[in-house]
Amino acid sequence: MIDPLYVASGFGVGLLVGLTGVGGGSLMTPLLILLFGIHPSTAVGTDLLYAAATKTGGSLVHGWSRSIHWPAVFRLACGSIPASILTIVVLWQLQLGGSAQSSLVNLVLSFALVLTALSLIFRKSIMERYRQRLEGVDERTTMIATVLTGAALGVLVSISSVGAGAVGVTALLLLYPRLPMARIVGSDIAHAVPLTLVAGAGHWALGSVDWHLMGVLLMGSLPGIVVGSYSAVRVPEQVLRVTLAAVLIVVAGKMASAELHLPLSVAATTANVTH
């Protein structure tokens, strides 16, 4: 059956993906875990393929608007795709249990969101302080740093579905300070398409994808991301930055609350087993 709440959630997340470049893992994964009670491994695997589909639509719109910096996309992919494949192989060998994977998702997600939110809130002061140094970096150094950043994103995204949006936007802001926010967002979305597709295919092979759930989410997210991507080039940069930071802080708070309640739930479970 089609749950309207899933459709509405997909539309809201898709809208934010198109508008800010964030949402695939940073919003949908905790939403599925905290609000809908989906198992963490299933939430991660489903969200990766969901993000690949939604960001494909977003990248097409950004490409039509010419708001994608393709050299940055190619460099990120050169690092992220091999790293993603290697990470999936390692996860398959380790065979982490549900509780271990849940802790990993919460830890990586909370840290990435807080770090990115802070960097976006103070982006203006950071750029004012380091702009000359960043603009003076030679092309070869920028290329190497972009490939290494892509490798780090490949690991993060493959483990927890986080990084293709939140961390990626921040990295591009630092690596390419001359690019406007709309092109940063467009480039980040374009890079996320092959990365989430490869990582999602790996989780599919591991058996952690709910195809019905993904289909319902896509019913709402595809229209949402088209609307968001179309509006991104028309929204002032400051509005995009503040919106992105606010979304990340809210989600980080939700994940932190989940971590605080985790010991209580474990204690309750232990007490029930004892009695």
Mind listing the pLDDT tens digit for each residue in 6-59?
888 888 887 877 776 666 667 787 788 778 888 777 888 898 988 888 788 778
Residue 144 domain flag:
yes
Q: Rounded to two decimals, what is the model's pTM?
A: 0.78
Kindly indicate the confidence band of residue 266, based on its pLDDT and cuts at 50, 70 and 90.
very low
pLDDT score for 65: 81
Residue 41 domain flag:
yes
Residue 274 domain flag:
no
Residue 273 domain flag:
no
Mean pLDDT for the chain overall: 79
Question: What pLDDT, in 10s, does the model give residues 201-235?
Answer: 998 988 888 898 888 888 888 788 778 777 766 66
The DSSP-derived string for the chain is ---HHHHHHHHHHHHHHHHHS--TTTTHHHIIIIIS---HHHHHHHHHHHHHHHHHHHHHHHHHTT---HHHHHHHHHHHHHHHHHHHHHHHHH---HHHHHHHHHHHHHHHHHHHHHHHHTHHHHHHHHHHHHHTS-HHHHHHHHHHHHHHHHHHHHHHS-STTHHHHHHHHHH-TTS-HHHHHHHHHHHHHHHHHHHHHHHHHTT---HHHHHHHHHHHHHHHHHHHHHHTTS-HHHHHHHHHHHHHHHHHHHHHHHHHHHHHHHHHHHHHH-
pLDDT score for 268: 42
Residue 90 domain flag:
yes
pLDDT at position 107 over 80: no
Residue 272 domain flag:
no
Residue 105 domain flag:
yes
For the chain, how many structural domains are there in total? 1
CA distance 195 to 153: 9
Report which of 19, 24, 17, 14 is spatially closest to residue 195, judged by C-alpha positions: 24
pLDDT score for 197: 94
**Do 52 and 221 form a contact (C-beta atoms < 8 A)?**
no
Residue 271 domain flag:
no
pLDDT score for 147: 97
Range of the domain at 123: 4-266
